[in-house]
Amino acid sequence: MSYKQTKVFNVDNINDDDKKHEYIRNAGLWIKSGEVVAFPTETVYGLGANALSEEAIAKIFKAKGRPSDNPLIVHISKKEQLGELVTEVSRAAEKLMDAFWPGPLTLIFKKKGSIAKNVTAGLETVAIRMPSHPTALELIEAAGVPVAAPSANLSGKPSPTTAQHVYHDLQGRIAAVVDGGSTGVGLESTVLDCSVDVPMLYRPGGVTVEQIEEVIGEVAVDPSLKDKEDTPRSPGMKYTHYAPKGSLTLVKDASNIQPLLNEARGQGKRVGVLTTTERANHYDADAVIACGEREDLASVATKLYDTLRQFDQEEIDVIFSETFPNVGVGVAIMNRLEKAAGGRMI
């Protein structure tokens, strides 16, 4: 599959509302017809295709170079669509949808047979969410079908938070990109399994465990968040993700970072540091990039993937990253950093 030119529908800061809606409608029709189109959500850019078509879904895996045993999230524009896709909705799921939909929370349900088999990687369950980004909702509505969409990047690379990131990775590999500007949350959605008696967290994200437990009480946390599985039960559980080209290592004690930088530089490496604004002037490196503010972890989440991509632009060979508190959105930040580092931590 190859495209001479990936079409860009620019709807960011467009003053002509009629033209904006026309672009989104056209992009939706492309999805309905079986094409793959990248679009903005409040988390990251998604790579969307008709969730009812195995042929369309196969184009996602091919464009991304994504293993086909890695399930996808299905995006809907209204709760009424659930009846076409799942066999039952638990009371806990109802409460969570009322509290967090539309928004960055993906729920896992027992599926109906209408969903393409390659969406769920052969599982009997399906992951579904309703994004809050207005362009995403309008696009799904225009498509007239549920839209399966992983992050719109080459598999294993940092997820895209701008249309430029998408274009860099997938130009010529997909039909179109809807440019809706930068995303907000910056990290993928939280994934919670509501098909089991005690809801289980499979991926931390934009909705924190603490927020979920305020609504439905205690939830289980799957131990495989830190262990690879032969059969991932949720997107983002099995393979290395989010990795920059340079080797990334997490360092628990920030006072150890400069000696590590000096050692790597002595070996002829270009070195970089992922830090925050509070400590950006503490380091001597080829690239010192502040990823938000330590006192505002939401700002770190928003900038994380863009920061990882900046190290690629600076052609950094070795990156050392500070670590972050494992609370609130910090759990999701550390989950992504650990995956990007392949588990390397000092």
- What's 166's DSSP letter? H
User: Do residues 169 and 29 share a domain?
Assistant: yes
| Domain final residue, candidates 160, 189, 218 | 189
244 contacts 311 by C-beta, under 8 angstroms = yes
Q: What is the SS3 assignment for 53? A: coil
pLDDT (0 to 100) of residue 284: 97
Considering the domain architecture, whether residues 259 and 177 belong to the same structural domain is answered as: no
Tokens linked to 214: 């305020």
Tokens of 29: 């029709």
Residue 223 lies in a domain: no
Say how far apart CA 41 and CA 128 lie, in whole Å: 14
Helix (H) or strand (E) holding 8: strand 7-10
Domain count, the chain: 2
Please report the pLDDT score of residue 228 as a whole number: 47
The pLDDT value recorded for residue 3 is 63
178 and 283 co-located in one domain: no
pLDDT score recorded for residue 66: 80
* Residue 58: inside a domain: yes
CATH number where 259 lies: 3.40.50.11030
Q: How would you label 197-210 residue by residue, b for 16+ Cβ within 10 Å and e otherwise?
A: eebbbbbbbbbbbe
Q: Do residues 211 and 40 touch, judged by C-beta distance below 8 A?
A: no
pLDDT of residue 229 exceeding 80, the answer is no
Phi-psi region of 342 (alpha: psi -120 to 50; beta: other; left: phi over 0): left
Q: Say if strands 7-10 and 176-179 run parallel, antiparallel, or are unpaired.
A: parallel
Task: Tell how strand 318-322 and strand 147-148 pair up.
Answer: unpaired
pLDDT digits (tens, 9 = 90+) for 38-77: 999 999 999 999 999 999 999 999 999 987 788 999 999 9
Is pLDDT at 231 greater than 90 in this prediction?
Answer: no
The number of residues making up the chain comes to 346
Torsion of CA 330, 323, 226, 58, to 10 degrees: 70
Comparing 122 with 286, the larger pLDDT belongs to 286
pLDDT of residue 4: 72
pLDDT in tens, 198-220: 999 999 999 999 999 999 999 99
Q: Are 249 and 320 in contact (CB under 8 A)?
A: yes
Q: Domain boundary residue among 189, 205, 234?
A: 189
pLDDT value at residue 173: 95
Write out the E strands in 95-241: 105-110, 125-129, 147-148, 176-179, 190-193, 200-203, 220-221
Task: Round to whole Å and give the CA distance between 149 and 39.
Answer: 9
Residues 39 and 109 in one domain: yes
* Domain-terminating residue out of 145, 170, 189: 189
The CATH number assigned to the domain holding 73 equals 3.90.870.10
* Range of the structural domain that residue 124 is part of: 7-189
Which pTM value belongs to this model?
0.92
Give strand pairing partners of 74: 128, 148
Q: Which helix (H) or strand (E) holds 93?
A: helix 91-100
pLDDT of res. 196: 94
Residue 227 pLDDT: 52
Name the amino acid, one letter, at 288.
V
Q: Sorting pLDDT into bands at 50, 70 and 90, what band is 240? A: low
Instruction: Please say whether the dihedral angle defined by the alpha carbons of residues 275, 165, 317 and 332, taken in this order, is positive or negative.
Output: positive
What digits encode the pLDDT tens for the residues 109-148?
999 989 999 999 989 999 999 999 999 999 999 999 999 9
Token pair of 87 as six digits: 């066999």
Write the DSSP assignment of 17-29 as a string of letters.
Answer: HHHHHHHHHHHHH
Note whether 168 and 290 are same-domain residues.
no
Query: Do residue 18 and residue 145 come from a single domain?
Result: yes
297-340, pLDDT tens digit by residue? Answer: 999 999 999 999 999 999 999 999 999 999 999 999 999 999 99
Q: Are residues 50 and 182 in the same domain?
A: yes
